[in-house]
Amino acid sequence: MIDKRIGRRFKQRREELGLTQDALSEKLGLTTNYISTIERGASFPRCEKLILLLNGLETSADAIFCDVLTHSTKAKASILSEQISSLPNEEQQRILDMVELMVKQAKSK
């Protein structure tokens, strides 16, 4: 029912942040047990908790769902966004704003 790879990504991300299940659960107001079930693929969070987790883990949705997405625009977007995300925040924002503007202009033709 639940794709185990999603739980593994959650776990991986938590460990990347150097958090224990306890620490994360306390930070998010959830139980340790619940965190565990999610990481094992024994349960899958509903909307509210899913958002809570994604933001609590300071990650993107694609980073969690990447394994199960077949039509991910990762190819193009990822190359771009990986490069962009390695830049300082100001630069990131500057580029994204610029792109947004260019898209707008292109669309209005």
Q: What is the residue whose two structure tokens read 């625009």? A: 73
Helix (H, G, I), strand (E, B) or coil at 87: coil
The kind and range of the H/E element at 81 are helix 74-85
Q: What is the C-alpha separation between 42 and 19, in angstroms, rounded?
A: 20
Over the window 28 to 67, marking each residue x when it contacts a copy of itself by CB under 8 A and - when it does not, the resulting string is ----------------x-xxx--x--xx--xxxxxxxxx-
Q: What is the C-alpha separation between 19 and 25, in angstroms, rounded?
A: 10
Shortest Cβ 108–DNA spacing (Å)? 22
Q: Which of 30, 54, 39 is nearest to 3 (CA)?
A: 39
Q: Based on the shown chain and the rule CB under 8 A, indicate whether residue 76 belongs to the binding site for a copy of itself.
A: yes
Nearer to a copy of itself (CB atom), residue 6 or residue 25: 6
12 touches, from a copy of itself, DNA, none (C-beta below 5 to 8 Å by class):
none
Nearer to a copy of itself (CB atom), residue 2 or residue 22: 2
Contacting residues toward DNA, per CB under 7 A: 1-2, 11, 15, 20-23, 29-34, 36-37, 39-40, 42-49
